[in-house]
Amino acid sequence: MASPNKKPMLLPALFTMKCPSCRKSSVFLNKSIFPLGKCLALKDECEVCGEKLKSESNNGGGINYALTMMLFFLNLLWYWPIFGLSYKDNSVFYYLATSTVVVVLLQPYLMRLSRMLYLYLYIGFGHSRRVSVED
């Protein structure tokens, strides 16, 4: 049985898109990335701790760019041993096409993850405005 005062773990809370302050409540209005037009819709504040989640500069665009470039490199790590790369044939173009398709398919999740990383960088754990009283 887990202790009620036990701090939730960082990585599972980050990848399940939980509040960075309490790591209990969901941050996004939709749990799924669908519909794509509303996949980045954030709640105004956390339901559990009252932490403000929306801000004017809360876009995470730079983090999204870094994640996209990292994904292109990670695609190279699995593509090169399986198919090989050479400047003598068109394999570089096949790699770029394959990586572009992978990045485009994963982009909604990458955008959500970049927004979560942004929130986790600027909101510390346990720094909520609302004080919770446990009975």
Task: Give the pLDDT band (50/70/90) at residue 1.
Answer: very low
Mean pLDDT for 24-40 is: 89
Distance, in Å, from the CA atom of 9 to the CA atom of 127, rounded to the nearest integer, reads 16
Q: Which is more confident, 66 or 57?
A: 66
Distance, in Å, from the CA atom of 64 to the CA atom of 67, rounded to the nearest integer, reads 5
Q: Which is more confident, 57 or 112?
A: 112
Which tokens go with 45? 């504040």
Rounded to whole angstroms, what are the CA distances from 1 to 5, 6, 13, 24, 76?
12, 11, 19, 17, 43
- Each domain of the chain, given as residue ranges in start order, spans 11-122
pLDDT tens for residues 35-50? Answer: 988 888 889 889 988 8
Q: Which is more confident, 78 or 2?
A: 78
State residue 88's pLDDT score: 87
Indicate the SS3 state at residue 109.
Answer: helix
